[in-house]
Amino acid sequence: MDRDTLCIHAGYTPGNGDPRMIPIIQSTTFKYDTCEDMGKLFDLEESGYFYTRLQNPTNDMVAAKIATLEGGTAAMLTSSGQAASFLAVFNIAGAGDHIVSSTSIYGGTFNLFNVTMKRMGIEFTFVDPDCSDEELEAAFQPNTKAVFGETIANPALTVFDIERFADAAHAHGVPLIVDNTFATPINCRPFEWGADIVTHSTTKYMDGHDAAVGGCIVDSGKFDWSAHADKFPGLTTPDESYHGVTYTERFGLGGAFITKATAQLMRDFGCIQAPQNAFLLNLGLESLAVRMKRHNENGQKMAEFLAGHEKVSWVNFPGLPDNPYYERAKKYLPDGICGVVSFGVKGGRAGAMEFMKNLKIGNIATHVADAATCVLHPASTTHRQMTDEELIEAGVPADLVRMSCGIESAEDLIADVAQALDAVTVL
Ligand SMILES: *Cc1c(COP(=O)(O)O)cnc(C)c1O
């Protein structure tokens, strides 16, 4: 089936007289007839539910929908995108291990890796996503456990060469993890290009309505942990906290990664998505394919309009032919990029701030990937401690405006931006 259809129907098939919507199972606890019945769940001999800190049926139905959309074998919902990135890496790397990551990733993920996970004893080597083959090769170490990148980086809008990084990861016997938040499985399916694990901040396009923070991890089921058993003992040797179950033996390649992340990491960290939020996420998913088409169109039209405007000094959008990622975007994102465009307003910091004040439709917000257009001027808000020189080094010059085009009419959005630019007085 088409992804448009799967957005509605995957993950849950109601039987005769069942609710049409994925129901909210708002229960922390699940009851059993005998101790033996419940004991089988604790030994992972049978699948089922006992406590919502680890697993909940609403979450699992919504996760199954996302797994189908990505073309994966198993998935789990997490309380946030940050929790998804953390669990995806921590499931296969611990103290003394090492990860290769693209430098062009979400700032929150960079901080999680570079500060917090470093404190846990995991080392990271960050490589430019457009580095030479020699530089990429030199980043790997004998204790490397995974490679990490972002399909379309937030906010740099660089397009990640998934195939190239997957080949490099596999040559070293480790999986490629891709954060597919900005592309969504409607625009790009990283598994089709060799990625092994996909993560999402479902807070963005998947929810799409500013309603619920959440995350998701999807396994392609293709990475052969057993073929590199010495690197992944957590998956390929007995887990003493679960009566000696060996995840790869019991659950196969398609189930080992997510079962371990659920049974060990969710059990111990409890960063699960609330079933209420999973229900809201599913509402967003039902219209994801339709909304992404409009986000893609609005992003493209806005970028083209801005590129021709005299008060705009530069535009960054991989759908413009002069963008360095144009060709790569055509390969990985043939149906559209996303709704996020960044550009420079003439008049620098003051010009950008005046433009923002003049907007009537765009909300000033740190958020992106929402049904409503949101606009951010990092230099005066998220990055305001930095000097103009530091901002240039960080890739967010003082004149930069990040605009996340919503699903309003493109004509209205462009008319609003046009009047806001025309009214800018500083040059
Ligand atoms: C927002 C975001 C995250 C973090 O997700 P939260 O849901 O805010 O925790 C991770 N990756 C990308 C690309 C994001 O945009």
Q: What is the pLDDT of residues 39-84, one digit of tens each?
A: 888 888 888 999 999 999 999 999 999 999 999 999 999 999 999 9
Distance 151 CA to ligand 1 centre (A): 13
For residues 343-360, average pLDDT: 95
Question: Which residue's C-alpha comes closest to atom 15 of ligand 1?
Answer: 154
- Choose one of 203, 213, 216, 376 to mutate for the ligand 1 pocket test, by most ligand atoms within 8 angstroms of C-beta: 203
Please choose, from the candidates 94, 25, 85, 47, the residue with its C-alpha nearest in 3D space to the C-alpha of residue 259: 47
Q: Quick check: CB of 215 below 6 Å from ligand 1? A: yes
What pLDDT, on a 0 to 100 scale, did the predictor assign at position 243? Answer: 82
- Asked whether residue 180 carries a pLDDT value surpassing 90, the answer given is yes
pLDDT tens string 275-327: 999 999 999 999 999 999 999 999 999 999 999 999 999 999 999 999 999 99
Distance 369 CA to ligand 1 centre (A): 11
- Asked whether residue 20 carries a pLDDT value surpassing 90, the answer given is yes
Q: Which residue has the higher pLDDT, 47 or 343?
A: 343
Q: Quick check: 272 and 77 in contact, CB under 8 A? A: yes
Q: How many CA atoms lie within 13 A of 412 on its CB side?
A: 10
Share of the chain above pLDDT 90, in %: 92
Distance 106 CA to ligand 1 centre (A): 7
Question: Which residue's C-alpha comes closest to atom 5 of ligand 1?
Answer: 81
Helix axes 410-422, 348-358, angle to 10 degrees: 130
Q: Which residues pair with 99 in a beta bridge?
A: 124, 146
247 confidence band (pLDDT: 50, 70, 90): very high
What pLDDT, on a 0 to 100 scale, did the predictor assign at position 128? Answer: 95
Report which secondary-structure segment, H or E, holds 3.
Answer: helix 3-9
Q: Quick check: CB of 88 below 6 Å from ligand 1? A: no
pLDDT tens string 359-381: 999 999 999 999 999 999 999 99
Q: Quick check: CB of 149 below 6 Å from ligand 1? A: no
For residues 328-332, average pLDDT: 98
Distance 187 CA to ligand 1 centre (A): 17
Q: Quick check: CB of 81 below 6 Å from ligand 1? A: yes
- Choose one of 77, 102, 105, 109 to mutate for the ligand 1 pocket test, by most ligand atoms within 8 angstroms of C-beta: 109
- Structural domains in the chain plus CATH codes: 3-283 (3.40.640.10), 291-422 (3.90.1150.10)
Q: Quick check: CB of 109 below 6 Å from ligand 1? A: yes
- Choose one of 111, 201, 202, 272 to mutate for the ligand 1 pocket test, by most ligand atoms within 8 angstroms of C-beta: 201
212 confidence band (pLDDT: 50, 70, 90): very high
- Asked whether residue 184 carries a pLDDT value surpassing 90, the answer given is yes
Sign of the dihedral through C-alpha 182, 185, 190, 193: negative
pLDDT tens string 110-133: 999 999 999 999 999 999 999 999
What pLDDT, on a 0 to 100 scale, did the predictor assign at position 42? Answer: 85
Q: Quick check: CB of 108 below 6 Å from ligand 1? A: yes
For residues 409-421, average pLDDT: 98
CA Rg value for the chain: 22
Q: Quick check: CB of 296 below 6 Å from ligand 1? A: no
Question: Which residue's C-alpha comes closest to atom 7 of ligand 1?
Answer: 81
**Alpha-carbon distance 342 to 301, whole Å?**
13
Exposed, middle or buried, 144 (CB in 10 Å: 0-12/13-18/19+)?
Answer: buried
| Atom number in ligand 1 closest to CA 181 | 13
**Alpha-carbon distance 362 to 372, whole Å?**
7
For residues 210-226, average pLDDT: 98
Q: Which residues pair with 344 in a beta bridge?
A: 314, 400
